Amino acid sequence: MLSISKQEQQINEEIRDKEVRLISDEGEQLGIMSAEEALKIAEERNLDLVKIAPMAKPPVCKIMDYGKFKFEKAKKEKEARKNQKIIETKEIRLSLNIDTHDFDTKINHAKRFIAEGNKLKVSIRFRGREMAHPEIGLTIMQRAAEALAECASIEKPAKLEGRQMLMFMAPKGTK
C-alpha cells in the first residue's frame, strides 16, 4: 500500500508507536523509551511531544512548544516567498507590414520589459494571404533579434506554429 505523507507532524496522543527515541527541548538525547513515558515527560515540562523523524527505527520525537514551532516555520516560509523573483513573460506583437517607427516603438517596449528582468515573447500573426510569405515574417523576427541583441539572448528561435510565428527571448545572463 502506498502511503501519502502528511505535512503536519504527529503530536502528543497522535503518536501510537511502542518505542520512541526522545530528544529534550534543549536538544540532548534522553534515550529510547515508550511513547507514554515520553508524553509524561513532555507534560511535566508543559510542552508538546512532536514526532520529527517518523521513518527512523525507532521514530524520533522531540519535546517542544508546537505552537511556537509552527509560527517560526510559517515565518520562514513567508520570508522565503518574499525573496523570490517572479519572472513574467511579456509579449510584443509585430505584423508583416510594420513601419519603421512602429517597429522601433515596439523594440523600445521590449527593451524595457527585458530591463525589468522579464522574458519576452515576440509574435507575428499571419492573416489571409500573408500565410504565403512566411519568409517576410522571418526577416522581421531576425531584425527584432538583432535590435535586442545587446540586452537579450534568443531562448527559442523563430518558428511558425499555425498562423503565428513565435520567438522567445530572455535577458542576457539567464538561460
Q: What does DSSP assign to residue 145? A: H
Options 3.40.50.300, 3.40.250.10, 3.40.50.1820, 3.10.20.80; CATH for 12-81 is: 3.10.20.80
- For residue 44, the one-letter residue type is E
CA proximity to 68, closest of 39, 25, 35, 20: 25
Show pLDDT as tens, one digit a residue, over the chain (175 residues). Answer: 444 445 567 778 788 888 888 888 888 888 888 888 888 888 888 888 888 888 888 888 888 888 888 898 889 888 888 877 777 899 999 998 999 999 999 999 999 999 988 999 999 999 999 889 899 999 999 999 999 999 899 999 999 999 999 999 999 875 4
The rounded distance, in Å, linking the Cα atoms of 30 and 18 is: 16
Q: Domain 89-171 carries which CATH code?
A: 3.30.110.10
Look at the pTM and tell me if it is higher than 0.85: no
Amino acid in the structure at residue 91:
E
